[in-house]
């Protein structure tokens, strides 16, 4: 499985380069400052985390040994986070009610501050059970499931590095929330970061836009840069962007100066940055994981509203988040006014579980169709060129190699499993035959892909609730 992770340790190489970059800071310094400012802003203003803890226990790991070169300051009253890398590169992220944190890049802060948060729906009833309300789980989980939750929160390295740092685990079975647990300082009301699980959310918004006739999955994607005569990129469809089979060149190997880091942490318009890349072959000829294509999709959604950010935010709530009770949902934007569809979405654990439950129900919520009919089957159908049948349309799959189904990401779990996944161990796992959704959210660090422990967690939950699957 290709893990969505950012490893900015390359910044350490800049320690010796600072002397020759005093007049023009390098790209890596700009990325480091942008990353520190944006991520600290998001976790402080959204998740209510302590800035010092965020830098020490999270941001410093991604910056690597060069984290000492980056200094961060938070102004809660002004809603700003400033970062300086090696005294040379500077970045500012600002917090705005309703859309969270935005990296200024080259944008004017006063202009961005003009955004007015559209009205919110009323909070859910605290006395009603999930998913209609916010009441706590009434019955303690059985001992075997309680043991699985204990294990999910256990630090396997006994306090040493790297940390697992599980933030939340929730289990929904047959439409009921049957278990939930949170880390100290985190609770049912705490919105948590998606990283690349946001790709599944932007896919859902594309689905809503498609159902409403705002987008056409099979038609060439409406990208202005591709409309020139003879531009082969003009043949790329929205479906191919969702499936990451567009064949656009985009460097998703993580580091300080690669495409994804520059896009997220130095650019005002992530979608425009990604749209400028050339093809490496005909569309559908290759599969390549790309955060860039998710941000092109987000820009297409923005353009469907004429670039009116307030109208787009109001639509996303009215047409998607509010009807299913995701009242905590916040999609952060870039400075151009596009949702950062690749990486920066926030919701509480309960709302992430609602998101999974909606897909388990094929996009229908309390009798109202939210997503197009058959959407869950569409997003969970393997993309032909994806290795081991592990990617659909905005969702990771467990289908396995067509010639050898045993070769799959999670061998102990059923092939039908599909999941939203993101860096640091964000998971929304859907198992249709078990009528089961498992959410695991964290700030996990380290190169070990198994450190977050999600596969044994889901297997243990299955053994309790659906032992025959």
Read off the tokens for 241.
Answer: 């962007």
Question: Please, what is the angle between helix 27-45 and helix 259-266, to 10°?
Answer: 60
Quick check: 9 pLDDT over 50?
A: no
* Tens-place pLDDT, residues 181-226: 999 999 999 999 999 999 999 999 999 999 999 999 999 999 999 9
Task: Classify 404 as helix, strand or coil.
Answer: strand
The answer to whether residue 371 scores a pLDDT higher than 80 is: yes
Average pLDDT over residues 271-299: 97
> 10-14, 391-395, 429-433 — which is least confidently predicted?
10-14
Contact 23, 8 (CB under 8 A): no
What are the start-end ranges of the E strands in 355-406?
A: 364-365, 368-369, 396-397
Q: Measure the CA–CA gap between 351 and 188, rounded to whole angstroms.
A: 9
Distance (Å, whole) CA 350 – CA 129: 11
Question: Which of 256, 273, 236 has the alpha carbon at shortest distance from 67?
Answer: 256
Report residue 448 as tokens. 């070990």
Cβ atoms within 10 A of the Cβ of 447, count?
9
Average pLDDT over residues 25-46: 93
The model carries a pTM of 0.94
What residue ranges do the domains of the chain occupy? 9-112
List Cα–Cα distances, 198 to 5, 71, 328, 415, 463, in angstroms.
14, 28, 14, 23, 29
Cα Rg of the chain, angstroms: 21
Cα distances from 292 to residues 104, 148, 387, in angstroms, run 19, 36, 19
What does the alpha-carbon distance between residue 381 and residue 389 come to, in Å, rounded to a whole number? 9
Would you state the pLDDT for residue 253?
82
User: Residue 6: its pLDDT value, please?
Assistant: 37
- Average pLDDT for 15-42: 73
Nearest C-alpha neighbor of 386 from the set 284, 295, 248: 284
Q: What is the pLDDT of residue 394?
A: 98
pLDDT at 26 over 90: no
Length of the chain: 469
pLDDT at 255 over 90: no
Is pLDDT at 5 greater than 80 in this prediction? no
The C-alpha atoms of residue 93 and residue 429 are separated, in whole angstroms, by: 32
pLDDT band at 298 (very low <50, low <70, confident <90, very high): very high
How many CB atoms neighbour CB 375 within 10 A? Answer: 24
Query: What are 142-182's pLDDT values in tens digits?
Result: 999 999 999 999 999 877 788 999 999 999 999 999 999 99
| Helix or strand holding residue 42 (H, E) | helix 27-45
Alpha-carbon span 422 to 167, nearest angstrom: 14
pLDDT value of residue 10: 38
Which pLDDT does position 454 carry in this prediction?
A: 97
């Amino acid at each position: 499985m290709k893990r969505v992770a950012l490893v900015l340790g390359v910044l350490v190489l800049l320690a010796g380069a600072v002397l020759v970059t005093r007049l023009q800071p390098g790209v890596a310094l700009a990325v480091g400052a942008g990353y520190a400012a944006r991520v600290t802003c998001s976790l402080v203003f959204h998740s209510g985390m302590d800035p010092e803890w965020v830098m020490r226990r999270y941001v410093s790991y991604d910056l690597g040994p060069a984290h000492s070169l980056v200094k961060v300051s938070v102004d809660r009253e002004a809603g700003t986070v400033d970062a300086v890398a090696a005294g040379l590169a500077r970045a500012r992220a600002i917090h705005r009610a309703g859309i969270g944190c935005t990296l200024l890049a080259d944008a004017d802060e006063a202009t961005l501050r003009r955004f007015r948060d559209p009205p919110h729906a009323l909070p859910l009833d605290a006395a009603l059970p999930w998913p209609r309300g916010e009441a706590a789980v009434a019955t303690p989980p059985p001992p075997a499931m309680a043991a699985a939750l204990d294990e999910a929160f256990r630090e396997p390295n006994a306090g040493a590095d790297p940390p697992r740092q599980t933030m939340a685990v929730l289990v929904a079975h047959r439409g009921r929330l049957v278990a939930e647990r949170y880390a100290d300082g985190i609770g049912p009301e705490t919105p948590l970061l998606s990283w690349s699980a946001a790709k599944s959310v932007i896919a859902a918004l594309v689905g809503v836009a498609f159902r409403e006739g705002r987008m056409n999955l099979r038609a060439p994607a409406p990208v202005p840069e591709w409309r020139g005569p003879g531009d082969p990129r003009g043949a790329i469809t929205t479906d191919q962007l969702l499936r990451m089979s567009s064949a656009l060149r985009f460097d998703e190997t993580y580091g300080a100066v690669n495409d994804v880091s520059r896009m997220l942490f130095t650019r005002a318009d992530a979608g425009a940055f990604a749209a400028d890349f050339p093809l490496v072959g005909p569309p559908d000829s290759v599969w390549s994981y790309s955060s860039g294509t998710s941000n092109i999709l987000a820009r297409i959604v923005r353009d469907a509203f004429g670039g009116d950010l307030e109208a787009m935010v109001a639509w996303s709530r009215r047409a998607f988040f509010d009807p299913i009770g995701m009242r905590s949902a916040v999609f952060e934007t870039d400075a151009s006014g596009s949702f950062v569809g690749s990486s920066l979405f926030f919701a509480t654990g309960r709302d992430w579980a609602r998101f999974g439950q909606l897909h388990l129900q094929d996009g229908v919520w309390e009798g109202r169709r939210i997503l197009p009919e058959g959407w869950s089957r569409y997003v969970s159908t393997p993309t032909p060129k994806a290795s081991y049948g592990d990617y659909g349309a905005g969702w990771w799959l467990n289908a396995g190699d067509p010639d050898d189904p045993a070769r799959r990401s999670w061998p102990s779990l059923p092939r039908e499993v599909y999941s939203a996944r993101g860096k640091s161990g964000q998971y929304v796992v859907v198992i249709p035959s078990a009528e089961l959704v498992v959410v695991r959210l964290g700030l996990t660090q380290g190169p070990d892909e198994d450190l977050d422990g999600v596969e044994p967690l889901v297997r243990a939950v299955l053994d309790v609730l659906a032992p025959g699957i």
